[in-house]
Amino acid sequence: MEVVDLCRDLIRIDSTNPSSNERLAAEYVAGKLAEIGLQPTVLESEPGRASVVARVEGTDPARGALLLHGHLDVVPADAADWQVDPFSGEIRDGCVWGRGAVDMKDMDAMMLAVLRQRLRAGRRPPRDLVLAFVADEEAGGAKGAGWLARRHPELFEGCTEAISEVGGFSLTVADDLRLYLIETAEKGMAWLRLTATGRAGHGSMVNDDNAVTALCAAVARLGRHTFPVHMTATVRTFLEATTEALGVEFDLDDPDTAVAQLGPIARMVGATLRNTANPTQLDAGYKVNVIPQAATAFVDGRFLPGFEADFEQELDAVLGPAVQREYVHHDIALETGFDGALVDAMAAALKAEDSAARPIPYCLSGGTDAKSFSTLGMRCFGFSPLRLPPELDFTALFHGVDERVPVSSLQFGVRVLDRFLDGC
């Protein structure tokens, strides 16, 4: 199927954020859309940081439009760590390998493939579709989806709902039962810079006002801190469904015990039980015998929908007065219900292609461009349908070494999306 070639082509275009840019990938996508009679618009928030938007007219113009969006950028990859060249798009062991294979050039390829096959056959969707292939998601989206939503909202006129990445993938329970996780919520982003100041001086002398010492103590406290459980509606529904399917006891007073029995996906699910703050970078000093006046650290903080104030209050209590914090990137949390005609269409499409499918909602521990597009009034979902082999540790592939997607999963995704577009 064409989807495999499209995915491989996109992987071969190095759109690493920030060392490369998305222009070549945007031009490739625009060309594929133009071949089927669409009129894509390529826009740059700054030189090289390119996004593509196109509209497909539906058969019922009275209905609200649906946005299908994907990002073109990828995180860096060190070829020395990989079994294959991360920008080769190599097919091995039934999978397409490469950076972006699951995050998210697979969905970009599926979007292109399903629209190309439909429009070549003259099959217009029931409602208008807006296609957006955007820059900069991996750095928070300020130069991609965020910029588009602020500067060009007219391109998304009429869009009431949106679908994109990190949802619709399978979790095998048994041969006759696969849970398909549809993202209906995601945590907010709070990327922080922490700064401690003190008295500069010679490294050989006694100094009880050392910025490095103060910062390291605060970072250590934060890194070891466990935030309290906050059970959101989405997470509760997810845990009730998964534990029932797996035959695992679910105690509302001790959800960590249930999560620990979910297998590899527990890493992601566990992070949706509570707010989190992980120290990721440290910087201080310029010479081994000089005590610096200031020291800084960076923290990846994430807060649950409805619990941002709790996150900030607890963060300050843990850090203490000796450390100042500021946001280097901040974005909202999202949550919507697992109901409505769009959800029904997702479920029907999955079940038509997999009789063992049971769709359930879940909360993403990370963030997506849905944050930006939700500001335009859309209900946003993660729905990039993939039927995965039971043995594949899918969540570990995001930003991981040897990222890959099964060929059969790509083909499944195109079939499901095609059915979904007919029924949405």
* 144 and 243 part of one domain: no
Measured from the Cβ of residue 200, the count of other Cβ atoms closer than 10 Å reads 15
Instruction: Assess whether pLDDT exceeds 90 at residue 299.
Output: yes
* 343 and 383 part of one domain: yes
* 344 and 283 part of one domain: no
User: What are residue 194's DSSP bridge partners?
Assistant: 297, 325
Can you give the residue range of the structural domain that contains 290? 188-228+276-330
> Residue 79: its pLDDT value, please?
96
Amino acid identity for residue 61 in this structure: P
* pLDDT per position as a tens digit, 44-101: 999 999 999 999 999 998 899 999 999 999 999 999 999 999 999 999 999 999 999 9
Strand ranges for 83-134 from DSSP E:
91-92, 95-97, 129-134
- For the sheet containing 294-303, what is the strand order? 276-284, 294-303, 188-197, 323-331
* 92 and 112 part of one domain: yes
Contact 173, 257 (CB under 8 A): no
Q: Which of 88, 72, 204 is nearest to 132 (CA)?
A: 72
The pTM score is: 0.94
> Residue 142: its pLDDT value, please?
95
* 30 and 155 part of one domain: yes
- On whether residue 123 sits in a domain, the answer given is yes
Instruction: Assess whether pLDDT exceeds 90 at residue 29.
Output: yes
Q: What is the DSSP letter of 168?
A: S
168: left (phi over 0), alpha (psi -120 to 50) or beta: left
**Tokens standing for residue 381:** 């979902």
Q: How far is CA 212 from CA 67, 201, 271, in A?
A: 48, 12, 29
> Residue 264: its pLDDT value, please?
85
Task: Name the average pLDDT for the chain.
Answer: 96
- On whether residue 181 sits in a domain, the answer given is no
With b for 16 or more beta-carbon neighbours within 10 A and e for fewer, the 250-265 pattern comes to beeeebeebbeebeeb
Q: How many domains does the chain have?
A: 3
Is the bond leading into 104 cis (omega within 30 degrees of zero)? Answer: yes
Query: For strand 357-364 and strand 177-186, is the pairing parallel, antiparallel, or unpaired?
Result: parallel
CA–CA dist 131, 421 (Å, integer)? 13
> Residue 61: its pLDDT value, please?
83
* pLDDT per position as a tens digit, 181-222: 999 999 999 999 999 999 999 999 989 999 999 999 999 999
* 73 and 202 part of one domain: no
Burial category of 220 from C-beta neighbours within 10 Å (exposed 0-12, middle 13-18, buried 19 and up): exposed
* 141 and 6 part of one domain: yes
Question: Mean per-residue pLDDT for 123-143?
Answer: 96
Contact 176, 356 (CB under 8 A): yes
* 374 and 325 part of one domain: no
Q: Residue 213 belongs to a domain with what CATH number?
A: 3.30.70.360
* 68 and 199 part of one domain: no
Report the helix count and the strand count for the chain, using DSSP H and E: 12, 19
- On whether residue 410 sits in a domain, the answer given is yes
**Tokens standing for residue 143:** 């130069």
Q: Residue 400 belongs to a domain with what CATH number?
A: 3.40.630.10
CA–CA dist 290, 4 (Å, integer)? 56
* 129 and 263 part of one domain: no
Q: What is the DSSP letter of 229?
A: B
> Quick one: the chain helix, strand, coil %, rounded to 5?
35, 25, 40
> Residue 265: its pLDDT value, please?
87
Rounded to 10 degrees, the C-alpha dihedral 100/417/304/272 comes to -70
- On whether residue 182 sits in a domain, the answer given is no
Instruction: Assess whether pLDDT exceeds 90 at residue 263.
Output: no
- On whether residue 195 sits in a domain, the answer given is yes
> Residue 188: its pLDDT value, please?
97
Min mean pLDDT across 109-118, 128-137, 258-267 is at 258-267
Cα–chain center distance at 265:
15
Q: Which value, in Å, is the radius of gyration of the alpha carbons in the chain?
A: 23
- On whether residue 183 sits in a domain, the answer given is no
* 129 and 57 part of one domain: yes
> Residue 124: its pLDDT value, please?
95
* 46 and 19 part of one domain: yes
